Amino acid sequence: MAKRTLSEKLAILSDAAKYDASCASSGGERRDSRDGKGLGSSGGSGICHAYAPDGRCISLLKILMTNFCIYDCAYCINRASSRVERARFSVEEVVHLTVEFYRRNYIEGLFLSSGIIRSPDDTMADMVRIARKLRQEEGFRGYIHLKTIPDASQELIDEAGKYADRLSINIEMPTETSLKELAPEKNAVGIRKSMADVRLRREESRTGKSWRGKRPARFAPAGQSTQVIVGADTANDRTILTQSSDLYASYGLSRVYYSAFSPIPDPARALPLKPAPLKREHRLYQADWLLRFYDFGVEEIGGTSGMLDLDVDPKTAWALEHREFFPVDVNRAPREALLRVPGFGTKTVGRLLAARRRGLVRYEHLKAMGAVMKNAQPFIVAGGWSPRGMLETEHLRARFAPPPEQMALF
C-alpha cells in the first residue's frame, strides 16, 4: 500500500469519526497561557468555531487515531468486516494537526477516539501518549477529550484522566440485549464498570477548594459522557431515557448524547436500511433536558406508548395530557409548577421569581422575561390575562402540532 499523505489520512480518519455526536468543550479546569509559556486556554463555556451543513457544530478536532479495528459492531462504519479505506495517524501527526489548527483558532481542542488495534491496552497506550505529548512537550492548555477503550487497564485510564479534560465511553445501545446482538465483542457490564471507575477517581481527586467553594476534580475535570445510538434497534424512547436517567444518577455523567442512526456506507445486514428521524433525536434531547433541569420523572414522559410525540415537544405533550394541572398562576405558583409551563425556560422562571418580589407580574412583562407567550398563553394566569376557555378546547393540540399534510397521491 502506498504511503498516504497527511491530508488523505485526515480525510479518512475524520470521516470515520463523524458519527460521534459529542463536541462539548465546556467546563473543566480554568487554564490560560498568559504566562507566555504555553498555548491555549479552557474553562467556562466552550466555543463552536464552525458549523457544518449538517447543523452540527465543529468545536473540537474530532478524529480517530486509526480506523483499523478488531471488533465487528454492526452499526459501526469501522467494524472489522467493513470495506472502508483504512489509515492510521502517528502520534506526531495528531499532535501537529491539533496544535496548528488550534493556533489558527479553528478549534477548542482535540477529541480523540480510535478503532481497536492489536489489543485494548495497546490502543489506549497510544492515545495516552498523544495526550501526554500535547500537555508536556507542546504546553497545550486547550481542551482534550479522550474516548476510553473498553477493557483497557486501570493504569492507562488513570493516566488518561490526568491529561484529558473529559473521558467518555459509549454505551452504544439502549439495552444489553441489543448490545449483545449488534456489538458482540462489547459487554455492557464492562462499560458500566469503567464509568463507575471514572466516577470514583473523580471523587478521590476532589481535594482543595476553588474560589467558588466547590471542590473541583483534578481527574477528568470536565466529567464523563456517553453516546447512545437511536433507531438501530427496536427500543422505545422510554427505555432509552430510563437508561439515561440511570446513567446520570449512577455515574454522574455530564451528558448522554443521542445519535439518530444514520445509514453508513457499507452497512451490515443486521441493520435497518432506513435512518431514524432526526426529529426523534431532537425530542430525546428535549426530554433529557426535562429530566435534568425541570424535575420531570422518566415515567411522566412519553405517554402510554413509551414513544415521544414527534409533532409536539415533550413538555407541551405533557401539558396537553394533564390539563387539570393548569392554568398556573404566575404570581402565586411555586417554582416546580412554573417549570411545567410550556414556553417557560429555567431562566424565565428565575427572572419571574425575582420579579414577583417587586410587584404584580403582568402578561406583557412575561415576554420581556424571555417567555414564549405563544406556547404559554393557554396554560397561565397573569396580571391582565386569563386563558378562559382556551384550556378546554379540543383544538388546543392543533395550536402546537404542525398542520396536517396531504399525503402524496402517487
Point out which span in 77-85, 116-124, 284-292, 333-341 binds other proteins (CB under 8 A): 77-85
Shortest distance, CB of residue 406 to other proteins, whole angstroms?
A: 23
Contact between 409 and other proteins per CB under 8 A: no
Tell me which of 127, 260, 308, 330 binds other proteins, using CB under 8 A. Answer: 260
Contact between 408 and other proteins per CB under 8 A: no
Residue whose C-alpha is closest to residue 127's, from 197, 66, 74, 186: 66
Shortest distance, CB of residue 157 to other proteins, whole angstroms?
A: 27
Q: Give the interface size with other proteins as a residue count (CB under 8 A).
A: 68
Point out which span in 113-121, 224-232, 303-311, 348-356 binds other proteins (CB under 8 A): 348-356
Tell me which of 50, 189, 407, 409 binds other proteins, using CB under 8 A. Answer: 50
Tell me which of 1, 3, 37, 212 binds other proteins, using CB under 8 A. Answer: 37
Helices (H), 187-276: 188-204, 237-251
Q: Match 420531570 to its residue by C-alpha cell.
A: 296
What residue ranges in 122-176 does DSSP mark as E strands? 143-147, 166-168
Contact between 372 and other proteins per CB under 8 A: no
Contact between 106 and other proteins per CB under 8 A: yes
Residue 244 burial (CB count, 10 A): 25
What residue ranges in 52-152 does DSSP mark as E strands? 57-58, 60-64, 109-113, 143-147
Shortest distance, CB of residue 248 to other proteins, whole angstroms?
A: 26
Q: 51 CB contacts (<8 Å, ≥6 apart)?
A: 57, 58
C-alpha cell at 246: 440511570
Considering only residues 133 to 192 of the shown chain, the ones binding other proteins according to CB under 8 A are: 139
Classified as helix, coil or strand, 394 is coil
Tell me which of 269, 332, 388, 395 binds other proteins, using CB under 8 A. Answer: 269
Q: How many CA atoms lie within 13 A of 8 on its CB side?
A: 8
Tell me which of 1, 2, 189, 368 binds other proteins, using CB under 8 A. Answer: 368
Contact between 401 and other proteins per CB under 8 A: no
Contact between 266 and other proteins per CB under 8 A: yes
Contact between 61 and other proteins per CB under 8 A: yes
R_g (Cα) of the chain, nearest Å: 24
Contact 38, 140 (CB under 8 A): yes
What is the CA angle 357-361-363, rounded to 5? Answer: 165
Point out which span in 17-25, 128-136, 288-296, 338-346 binds other proteins (CB under 8 A): 17-25
Q: Which is nearer to other proteins, 307 or 354 (CB)?
A: 354
C-alpha cell at 355: 420579579
Contact 172, 195 (CB under 8 A): no
Calpha distance 55→341 (Å, rounded): 28
Residue whose C-alpha is closest to residue 58's, from 106, 10, 14: 106
Tell me which of 4, 29, 41, 180 binds other proteins, using CB under 8 A. Answer: 41
Interacting residues with other proteins (CB under 8 A):
6-7, 10-12, 14-15, 17-19, 32-41, 47-58, 61-62, 72, 74, 81-83, 97, 100-101, 103-106, 139, 260, 262-270, 273, 275, 278, 351, 354-355, 358, 364-365, 368-369
